[in-house]
Amino acid sequence: MREQAGPGPVSSGAGTGAERRTTVPLYVRIRREFEARIRAGALPAGSRLPSEMDISTEYGVSRATAQRVLNDLAEAGLAIRRRRHGTFVADVTRQINLLNFVTPSAAAKGVPGRHEVVSARIVRAADAVLALPGAPADTAVVELVRRKLDVREEPQSVERHVVLFAAAPDLLNENLEALVTLPYLQRSGVPIDSIRLYLDPVALDEHDAALLHSETGTPALMRRRELRLADASTVEVVTTLVRPGTAEFFLELPVPAG
């Protein structure tokens, strides 16, 4: 049975004309309503969110859809789920599992918030903001710089992409605010063979500090990802620089059997 929104007013959020014409999954629309209420202060830190059953009843959706709404909010650090106690609005510090942080599929889940395009252009590899490993200096590349804002419109991270132009000549025609490059390249037929990920400790330079509303020289964590073809050449390099003080990184592992 096809789900329809119930009595609760569900907003798809602001965006470009192209975004408004795109069909947004129902769970995303419901999730965005909660994001907006958190941003407006109507749901302050510590307040209890509706249960899965409450959401299912109010919006006329399945229990699975309601569960996904709450799980997405929790994965984004906006909510804390306590078994047998309920789901509560979290404080501004996100809890990020490092295993999820380095898993490419996590980027496709649509973390709450929005992307703001800082710059987008086609340049020589030698002039790009990131070095594309193995690319000659005169090779054309697509360069995309975006800032991720959370639901409170505060900077969350800065993302820099450098993609081989020959692999994605039409990339700049896409909706750059919503673009996730790995599935885009896969849909375009680029034969990605492997993904290499790095975690680099860095100190913010003046430019990044301004973008992230932080102090120059503040230590930060940067994720660097390289998409590689079967011949080991790199088709894309992307970095994600997380705003200092907005996230705590952790690993949670099962206790080995004694």
Identify the pLDDT of residue 14: 43
> Does the pLDDT value for residue 88 go beyond 70?
yes
Identify the pLDDT of residue 150: 75
Identify the pLDDT of residue 38: 77
* Average pLDDT, rounded, for the chain: 85
222-246 per-position pLDDT tens digit:
999 999 999 999 999 999 999 988 7
Which comes out higher in pLDDT, residue 47 or 117? 117
Identify the pLDDT of residue 102: 65
Identify the pLDDT of residue 112: 61
The pTM score is: 0.66
At residue 105 the predicted structure's pLDDT band, cuts being 50, 70 and 90, is low
> Does the pLDDT value for residue 46 go beyond 70?
yes
> Does the pLDDT value for residue 100 go beyond 50?
yes
Identify the pLDDT of residue 227: 96
Identify the pLDDT of residue 78: 81
At residue 8 the predicted structure's pLDDT band, cuts being 50, 70 and 90, is very low
Identify the pLDDT of residue 43: 84
| Percentage of the chain exceeding pLDDT 70 | 83
Mean pLDDT of 175-187: 93
Identify the pLDDT of residue 106: 56
119-156 per-position pLDDT tens digit:
999 999 999 999 999 999 999 999 999 999 876 678 98
Identify the pLDDT of residue 99: 74
Which comes out higher in pLDDT, residue 172 or 88? 172
At residue 10 the predicted structure's pLDDT band, cuts being 50, 70 and 90, is very low
At residue 6 the predicted structure's pLDDT band, cuts being 50, 70 and 90, is very low
Residue 20 carries which side chain, given as an amino acid letter? R
The backbone torsions φ and ψ at residue 82, rounded to the nearest 5 degrees and listed phi first, read -120, 120
Mean pLDDT of 202-231: 95
